[in-house]
Amino acid sequence: MKALPAWLAPLAALMLVATFALQVYFFARIALMRVVDPQSTTFQRSEALRLLATHGKILWSQEWRDYERISDHLKRAVIASEDAGFPEHSGVEWDAIERAYERNQRNVQQAEQRAAAAPAAPAARVRLAGGSTITQQLAKNLFLAGERSLARKGQEFILTLMLEALLSKQRILEIYLNNVEWGEGLFGAQAAARHYFHIDASQLTPWQAASLAVMLPAPKRFEKLPHSAYLMGRADTVLARMGAVKLP
């Protein structure tokens, strides 16, 4: 093998130092979240800029609520809908990721077969399934941009492990519920409860909580028809599962 160019070794060392420094920064930020509520996330700030460019003003509705002031029904509903293993797992569910990968492979193969059978037809968009836990979603929203790459996914795993190591499950769920998107410029349980039901987040009923939880995979799309038959059917399923959820 050829020796590396002389200039490459210092550059590689600099990149390693920068990467290590970035992880130290993330570690410190997460450790601080044990006592300080995050004021915003990377995702929220990027959404604010997008909405400013689109509408000429920042659309941002959010009001922090402590864990005890958020309805237990909503906590159970979100866990039942988004991540049933949240109270027990260590942040990453490898089985779920494997199942999502297999589904994605099947979807891609089916799309290729349809394209081969009808080459003149417009290319169909392949919807890829995810396997992210609540902790992974929080890690991504807190710190990472929207692009997809192996490096970004690797950083997401590292952040997920940091969150699980430094914060309690209650604190992770509290931060998630206060920052997750529930519509265009709408963030957190309190803003969602006010917008959709005109009540406080602590007053959500089981049915209202299930209705909010099923919006989370695509809140911008579902907010246009929050009482559609599809969402109501999914809410019924979540409602039936909520009784089995043990809160952290």
What does the domain layout of the chain look like in residue ranges?
Answer: 39-89+168-248
41, pLDDT greater than 60: yes
Element containing residue 181 per DSSP (H, E):
strand 181-183
pLDDT of residue 12: 82
Whether residue 51 contacts residue 107, with contact meaning beta carbons closer than 8 Å, is answered with: no
110, pLDDT greater than 70: no
pLDDT of residue 91: 86
Phi then psi dihedrals of residue 35, to 5 deg: -125, -15
* CA separation for the pair 9, 206 (Å, rounded): 59
pLDDT of residue 97: 56
CA distances 40 to 33, 48, 238, Å, are 12, 11, 29
Phi then psi dihedrals of residue 192, to 5 deg: -65, -45
The model's pLDDT over 212-241, given as tens digits with 9 standing for 90+, comes to: 999 999 999 999 888 899 999 999 999 999
pLDDT of residue 146: 75
Confidence of residue 198 (pLDDT cuts 50, 70, 90): very high
Element containing residue 110 per DSSP (H, E):
helix 94-117
Q: Which of 170, 164, 137 is nearest to 68 (CA)?
A: 170
For the beta carbon of residue 98, count every other beta carbon within 10 angstroms.
11
Note the pTM of the prediction, 2 decimals: 0.84
28, pLDDT greater than 60: yes
For the domain made up of 39-89+168-248, give the CATH fold. Answer: Penicillin binding protein transpeptidase fold (1.10.3810)
The model's pLDDT over 138-178, given as tens digits with 9 standing for 90+, comes to: 999 999 977 788 889 999 999 999 999 999 999 999 999 99
pLDDT of residue 125: 45
